[in-house]
Homo-oligomer: A and B are copies of this chain.
Amino acid sequence: MTITPPESPAAFSLTAAREALRAGRLTATDLTRACLSRIALRDNAVRAWTCLNADALAEAATIRPDDPRPLAGIPVGIKDVIDTAQLPTGANSPLQGGLRPGVDAPVVQVLRAAGAIILGKTDTTEFAACGRDAATGNPHDPARTPGGSSSGSAAAVADFQVPFAIGTQTGGSTIRPASFCGIPALKPSWGLITTEGMRRYAVSFDTIGLFVRDPADLDLLADVFALPPAPALPPGRLRLGLTLTPYADALEVEGRALFDSRAARLAPVADLVPFDLPEGAADLDQLHRCIQHCEGASAFLHLSRTQGDLLHPDFHDRIEYRTGFTQRQHYEAYDRLALLRMQVEDRLAGVDALIAPSAPGFAPLGRTPGNPLFNALWTALQLPVMNLPMPGMELPLGLSLIVRRAFDRQLPALAARLAAAL
């Protein structure tokens, strides 16, 4: 199913909205009002938002067309595990109690300094980890999940409710919902955007994710978040590695068929070469899980100590090491993971980029966030990943584009070249 875009400025991409604002063809008030109207129309089906900013229109009214800030007057959605001074942070948990921390997380401070208008908070899996699912429906088919844990951010952007949104990824919480919702998204190299002020899950993997509707929007956000310069992609034909990951058996039939057929369409613009992951790469998901659960044991201890009776059993499982890992194993997992990271990086130097599935298949029915198996390995390897939607299918599905660490800025240009062929 495709979503019919609204006949209003809410249909503008981030880049298009910015150009219209700068040219005086659009005001921040009209853009914000259009987003709010779209939300009013669709919220009953999509339920992307946990709260909206009652001051958004008043803030928009202060934006002048000659405001030089890169995001002046552009509304943004913030995943509800990230602190905002104006709005409560609920993390979809009864334990947070509508917390208002009184200060914006650094990532929100950077957005506000760039002129963005915080439109509201978006729904999430509990603490972006486990426990309760988001209430959000997939805008392409509300009976299905939009994916998680950044459920609301992905759904709101895909549904033209806001031009861009901030999510997070610890396993597959940005790329998977982007795949299920059919929009571009970037999971940057680990560490390039600070995660201070977001609820912690696994500090070695927690990453801020960016959801947009046009790959070029990511260039603008790369400037806003000061992502480092990267070498340009070579002109002419590209050399692209293809991998189904060590978990190809988990691909659903339509996921496998679509990956193969769409990858084949890239032949006019790229040499496609099989990309062999190093020996032991099949352990990446288990290494990721070990570290995630053991870091989670530290991250969630205070919830157990202060409100243990209210805490979902999933969290108790991690805190009490019921998932079968020990802290000593967790340190050994760092080391094994580091060796695999070096080997994958070495092999990545032999291609311009790597292409892999973003999800096992289409978004499942229901509200559980889906399987992160095709995302967690890249998260564990610290690599930047962009979801590129594959066009013309009954439901959305995406390709993961992957480059070397710190080369994040290559991804939007790569996506533009591949999108033409797809």
Contact = CB atoms under 8 A, between A and B. Distances in A.
A298 B339 CA distance: 25
B200 A113 contact: no
A411 to B, nearest CB: 15
Given A106-B302, A301-B225, A327 B113 contact: no
Interface string A169-198: 000000000000000000001011111100
A228 B326 contact: yes
A189 B305 CA distance: 21
Contacts of A101: 101-103
A390 B406 CA distance: 45
Contact of A327 (B106, B109, B228): B228
A110 B305 contact: yes
A61 interface: no
A100 interface: yes
B194 A302 contact: yes
A301 B110 contact: yes
B406 A331 contact: yes
Contact of A109 (B195, B298, B305, B319): B305
Given A101-B102, A331-B405, A331-B406, A298 B113 contact: no
A195 B191 contact: no
Question: How many subunits of this chain does the assembly comprise?
Answer: 2
A406 B113 CA distance: 41
A264 interface: no
Interface residues of A, number: 52
A191 B319 CA distance: 14
A9 to B, nearest CB: 27
A328 interface: yes
A135 to B, nearest CB: 24
A419 interface: no
A328 B405 contact: yes
Interface in A105-137: 106-107, 109-110, 112-114
A282 interface: no
Nearest to A338: B338
A211 to B, nearest CB: 20
Contact of A99 (B102, B193, B299, B338): B102
A80 interface: no
A231 B339 CA distance: 27
Given A189-B331, A328-B228, A406-B328, A196 B113 contact: no
Contacts of A199: 196
19 contacts: A109-B306, A110-B302, A112-B306, A189-B327, A193-B298, A194-B301, A195-B203, A196-B199, A203-B203, A226-B297, A226-B298, A326-B406, A327-B406, A328-B405, A331-B406, A334-B382, A335-B338, A338-B339, A339-B342
Across chains A and B, which 7 residue pairs bring their CB atoms closest together, nearest first?
Answer: A338-B338, A106-B302, A228-B327, A109-B302, A331-B405, A113-B305, A196-B200
